[in-house]
Homo-oligomer: A and B are copies of this chain.
Amino acid sequence: MTELERQGANAKQAARRLAVSDTKTKNAALLAVAQALEEQAETWLSANAKDIAAAEEAGMKPSLLDRLKLTPERIRGVADGVREAAALRDPIGEILGETLRPNGLRIVRKRVPLGVIGIIYEARPNVTVDAAALCLKSGNACILRGGKEAIFSNRAAVEIMQRAILSAGLPADAVQLVQDTSRESAREMMQLSQYIDVLIPRGGAGLIHAVTKESRVPVIRTGEGVCHIYVDEDADPDMAATILYNAKCSRPSVCNAAECVLVHEKAAKAFWEKALPLLDTKNVQLRADEEALRILGDRARLAQSEDWDTEFGDYTLAVKTVRDLDEALAFIAQHGTMHSECIVTENADAAQRFLNEVDAAAVYWNASTRFTDGGEFGLGAEIGISTQKLHARGPMGLEEMTSYKYTIYGKGQVR
């Protein structure tokens, strides 16, 4: 038995306990975790200092270093997040349906945890705690496999959490960290279908594609976003410019940021007059098709075919001219990642067609794609944003981290 198999078996055991734990016990464990993280902040900070030192030595970019770094204030924020998870409604045990059949069988459909959730991620140490808290609240055990850059921070966080969970009477194995941060350990997780019920990769497109390709464990794809803003013939140019500026520039590194604007040929002139001054404040680089280039001139350069499928994640924007709504719909069907798509228009018929026909998790009429987020949608918190259609779509809150089962009450019925 490998180390990971042992962790998997232990997680499965823990999941059986968690599945029948009541809300009060789970909440007590979460509050204990929050308190422990604050009380033992020094331990977590000094572990983090080792990661930071190693990252500086390795020449990590300042923006990434900043994501890796913990501060007392950030730790308080993480602990508050855990308390917020405790305050959320517990989805487990909810009756989703009940039916009495003509033969007298009573069939009750009930919400249950997924079981063991594997999460493979690269990023910040706060994800370790955020993800564990949401799993715990929804009655799921988790196996966390973070990046090697954060290994000391993650170890410290998981040790603190495990002691707190145990002190609240739940199994410490509810939250486990994969110690080996090599590519091999991620591969092994993908094969562990006897222990892991669902795998959620969180990170760049490369990671997500690799997991989708290799995993035997069911996967939920998250967070790949090539999102479009379509500026319709009947768009209000001011509104379109404001929405595009927000969707592209308010936080370009996130998955709900816009990567491409589709501009109706008749709307182009009025739109760019409003949009360019805004985009210029962030020095947004434009990659435009030939028709748009005629308006944008030196302000843009010619787009290459790969630009239509790139999640830039920075201040770069692809620009495509379309002749009508049909062309916009076809372009999004071809190049979108089923994340978030937006039409800006005053024409209700065009908007309705867009809302109906675009196949994406979140389809917007006259609002920024940046709203695709568990908090913004009122789900409380999220474990990720699904871009697949199986199981869950868009922001995944606690309910989306559950399954259901049928319990059937008989009196000796046979078929």
Contacts and interface: CB of A to CB of B under 8 A. Distances in A.
B101 A405 contact: no
A18 B408 CA distance: 36
Nearest to A404: B393
Contact of A414 (B213, B333, B368): B368
A414 B250 contact: yes
B408 A363 contact: yes
A197 B405 contact: no
Nearest to A104: B367
Interface in A354-392: 355-357, 359-368, 370-372, 376-378, 388-391
Given A107-B377, A405-B363, A242 B19 contact: no
B410 A390 contact: no
B368 A415 contact: yes
Nearest to A242: B414
A77 interface: no
A82 interface: no
Interface stretch (A37-45, A62-70, A154-162, A215-223): A215-223
Quick one: which of A12, A360, A362, A408 has the most chain B CB within 10 A?
A408
A408 B367 contact: yes
A193 interface: yes
Interface of A: 12, 16, 19-20, 99, 101, 105, 107, 112, 114-115, 193, 197-198, 212-213, 216, 218-220, 236, 239, 242-243, 245-247, 250, 333, 355-357, 359-368, 370-372, 376-378, 388-391, 393-394, 403-415
22 contacts: A16-B333, A19-B359, A99-B378, A101-B378, A107-B378, A114-B389, A197-B388, A212-B216, A218-B219, A239-B412, A250-B415, A360-B405, A362-B406, A363-B408, A365-B410, A367-B410, A367-B411, A367-B413, A372-B406, A376-B415, A393-B403, A394-B405
Q: What 7 A-B pairs come out closest when comparing CB atoms?
A: A367-B410, A246-B414, A389-B403, A391-B391, A370-B415, A239-B412, A366-B410
